[in-house]
Amino acid sequence: MEFHEFSFRVRYGETDQMGVVYHGNYAQFLEMGRVEWLRSLGISYKGMEENGVILPVIHLQIDYKKSARYDDQITVRTQLKKLPLVKIEFDYVIYGPDREVLATANTVLAFLDKKTNRPIKCPDHILEKLS
């Protein structure tokens, strides 16, 4: 499956007093990677929501390897694990400077009808862009 990489610099507010990225911020980094991966395919969360589809995270796993620090340039590599049905699954690698692996992660999100909060099949127009 195709992957997408998104890079940014760690901001001061994402760190603790030691200048180390607070572990809870990694979930936001994964979301940024996922949103940019989808955007690169012409799919936006905003557009999905306007069409009555929401994508809540139902599983999140992060394995921390090394610490990211304030002002580090980090890269989130996002890859679709397989074509979705009712769920969509992503694998991630977060790299620090010099491409050292800082963390690996996996998320699973469910396609839900915005009005009913009930699971739905991945919309065809999204599936076409992912194929």
What are the backbone dihedrals phi and psi of residue 60, each rounded to the nearest 5 degrees, phi first? -145, 125
Q: Is 45 helix (H, G, I), strand (E, B) or coil?
A: helix
- CA angle (25, 79, 39) in 5-degree steps: 80
pLDDT at 1: 63
Residues 6+ apart with CB under 8 A from 76: 5, 6, 7, 29, 30, 32, 33, 92, 93, 94, 95
Q: What value does the mean pLDDT of the chain take?
A: 95
- In the residue annotation, 98 being an active-site residue is answered as no
* Domains, in order of start, for the chain: 3-130 (3.10.129.10)
pLDDT(130) > 90: no
Catalytic residue chosen out of the listed positions 16, 71, 72, 91: 16
Beta-strand pair 87-95/101-110: antiparallel
pTM exceeds 0.85 for this model: yes
* Contact between 105 and 94 (Cβ < 8 Å): yes
pLDDT digits (tens, 9 = 90+) for 30-89: 999 999 999 999 999 899 999 999 999 999 999 999 999 999 999 999 999 999 999 999
